[in-house]
Amino acid sequence: MRDCIFCRIARHEADARVVYEDDRIIAFHDIAPKAPTHLLVVPKQHIRNLADLHLEDEGLIAHLMLSLSDIAHTAGLDNGFRTITNTGPGGHQEVYHLHFHILGGRRLPAL
């Protein structure tokens, strides 16, 4: 998707404070942080959300999920962190490109 902001960030066509990148995912600081550390981890392939995953996305999603802990550790979140993904309007998804939030840097309230 040419106009998707996360696709543009993944293609380095839009600015972001990138903390991690490989051939399948990119992680960067959220522009409206909800915690002292608030990162977004995004697949470079455009997938709208969890509801749009297909069996052929299995390897990509496994890679993304297995990378979350390393990305959090690199960001200094050794005391713990929270991961969140929002799906659809009822889940308060704002950008329709699958992404996972990593939140930490303070004790987070219980959900």
Q: Is 29 a catalytic residue?
A: no
Strands 82-84 and 37-43: unpaired
Point out the catalytic residue in the list 38, 97, 99, 101: 99
Q: What is the pTM of this model?
A: 0.95
Confidence at residue 111, expressed as pLDDT on a 0 to 100 scale: 86
User: Within 13 Å of residue 54, how many CA atoms lie on the same side as its CB?
Assistant: 5
All structural domains of the chain with their residue ranges: 5-104
Tokens 């399948």 label which residue?
24
Confidence at residue 95, expressed as pLDDT on a 0 to 100 scale: 97
Confidence at residue 49, expressed as pLDDT on a 0 to 100 scale: 98
Confidence at residue 20, expressed as pLDDT on a 0 to 100 scale: 98
Per-residue HEC secondary structure of 56-109 comes to: HHHHHHHHHHHHHHHHHHHCCCCCCCEEECCCCHHHCCCCCCCCEEEEECCCCC
What are the mean pLDDT values of the chain's consecutive 10-residue runs (111 residues total)? 92 97 98 97 98 97 98 97 98 97 95 86
Identify whether the C-beta of residue 85 lies closer than 8 Å to the C-beta of residue 50: yes
> Which CATH number describes the domain made up of 5-104?
3.30.428.10
